[in-house]
Amino acid sequence: MTTAERKPEAPPKRPRRERKESGFVAVRTALTAWLSRPLASFHLVLALTGVLTVIGIVMVLSASSVASYNPKTGSGVYSLFVKHLVFVALGSVVFWLGLRVKLERIRRMSATATVICLGLLVLVLTPLGSTVNGSQGWFKLGEFTFQPVEAAKVALAFWGAHILVIKYNVIHQWRHLLVPVVPIALLMFALVMLQPDLGGTVTLAVVLLALLWFAGAPKRLFGVILAGGLAGVLVLALIAPYRLARVMSFLSPDADVSAEGFQANQAKLALADGGFLGKGLGQGTSNWGYLPNVQNDFIFALIGEELGLIGCVVVLVLFGGVAVVGLRIATRNIDPWIRIVSGTLTVFLVAQAGINIGYVVGLLPVTGVTLPLISYGGTSLVITMLIMGVLANAARHEPEAVAALRTQGPGKFGRLLRLPAPDPYRPPATRKGAGRAAAKAARPAPRAARPAPAQERRRSVREPGRRSAARTSTATSRGAAARTTASRGTRSTANRRGHR
């Protein structure tokens, strides 16, 4: 065989480890490039909201079929599921409103919304309110209910951020930092505890702490607030027998598995039955009455039973994504109000999910907090979708997103949802008229007001007497000319009178 007939040698194969590393680098590069796009945060909020809502629809259908069936009232197996779909549709409209309404207008309406929420928290304690599960915190509107404390959390976040931004220059003073945000928040706490609703009070406290944290309050303040909060929770637990029973069942869950510890133990059994892959959708036994309120507060236990550990990890990853994207929006915005609101709402949602998952797995005492976007619908679902809409709106106000939307057009989602182009952030003037004063100071001075040249200044210093004498003679000549003009005017007037 000649040299020309020889086959070319194949290139040496790369080791498997190098191929894996190169593939990881390519994936990381592609992900970094996608996240650097102007509207990446906006698209992530839309995706997370859609996926969590779909998971909630599927799990509510699986959890509520048995609880919905009631031959006495004529309700079928899909009655609760249909109500949930109605709440999802209403929440979608609210999501669109939170995405479309200008954030500046939401900020202006925050004070009015806070006053309305305080009024509703007072009215719900009157005979107009209804008692559900031992708490008088609902308004009944036919077959639907409304819980004002859910709206009060969002109103406190909007209004508190507005006040803290206004007082940014004096926020280092305690009286400006605490007043009036903390007194209004404490008033909300008192009204919610009169219902009584410990879960609502805890989430309101999370909103207050997040507001102060993102506003830059000193760290020692949080130590004082946390110490006072723990003391308050201890007092509230001791004065109410049912709260004390919950705390004791949390400390010793195996003491009485048929009373206060029934739900907590059944939730852990459901998680254990699910294993790694779960039993499959609709195959769980918790929804057959073994775990009360499984479609509301304990739906994460049903996820673990039917979807297994994989389903639980997926839900945790999704809420972790909400935390990362929300804080990303807060850090990438330059408007201080948007930064505080985005951070506060993100911490509130993730903390609520953490509290719910924590007491389902036995790490926290049961407080009755729903899992955002997944638990059975109601006021919590609608308000959560409003929060996600506001976060998506804040994502469109990132400086790079504003520049892209105003130069390249609204994009596919913007045209589909009829979203207006966001306005760029313009920082307010430090004081009224400061901009005009600065512009006036920057203009060149009139010629008469300009200082004399250097030669004239030196000449005036050397010959002060001559220049003063010249000025005196000039003034004297001007005065004489004025007197001559006046005398001429008097003579002409006299002559005219004589002719008459």
pLDDT per residue rounded down to tens, the chain (500 residues)? 455 555 556 556 666 666 666 777 888 888 888 888 999 999 999 999 999 999 999 999 999 888 887 777 777 788 889 999 999 999 999 999 999 999 999 999 999 999 999 999 999 999 999 988 778 899 988 778 899 999 999 999 999 999 999 998 888 888 888 889 999 999 999 999 898 888 899 899 999 999 999 998 888 888 888 888 888 777 777 777 777 777 777 777 666 666 667 888 888 889 999 989 999 888 888 888 788 888 888 999 999 999 999 999 999 999 999 999 999 999 999 999 999 999 999 999 999 999 999 999 988 888 888 999 999 978 999 999 999 999 999 999 999 999 999 998 888 888 888 898 898 998 886 655 444 443 343 333 444 444 444 444 444 434 444 444 444 444 444 444 444 444 444 444 444 444 43
Distance between CA atoms of residues 124 and 135, nearest Å = 10
Query: The tokens of 459 are what?
Result: 């000449």
Angle of helix 299-332 versus helix 379-395 axis, rounded to 10? 30
CA distance 421 to 401: 10
Measured CA to CA, the distance from residue 413 to residue 215 in angstroms comes to 32
Could you write out the DSSP letters of every residue in 103-128? HHHHHHHHHHHHHHHHHHHHHTTSTT
Q: Round to whole Å and give the CA distance between 474 and 12.
A: 103
Residue 141 region, left (φ>0) first, then alpha (ψ -120 to 50), else beta? Answer: beta
Element (H, E) at 55: helix 40-68
How far, in Å, CA of 106 to CA of 112, rounded? 10
Parallel/antiparallel/unpaired status of strands 135-141 and 144-146: antiparallel
Taking every pair of Cα atoms in the chain, the longest distance, rounded to a whole number of angstroms, is 144
Spatial separation of the C-alpha atoms in residues 57 and 375, rounded to whole Å: 9
| Class of residue 90 by CB neighbours under 10 A (exposed 0-12, middle 13-18, buried 19+) | middle
How many residues in the chain? Answer: 500
331 Cβ contact list (under 8 Å, min separation 6): 339
The reported pLDDT for the residue numbered 259 is 64
| Pairing verdict, β 144-146 and 130-132 | unpaired
Chain mean position to CA 380:
15
User: Which residue intervals of 240-296 are DSSP H helices?
Assistant: 241-251, 262-274
| 232 CB burial (10 A radius; 0-12, 13-18, 19+) | middle
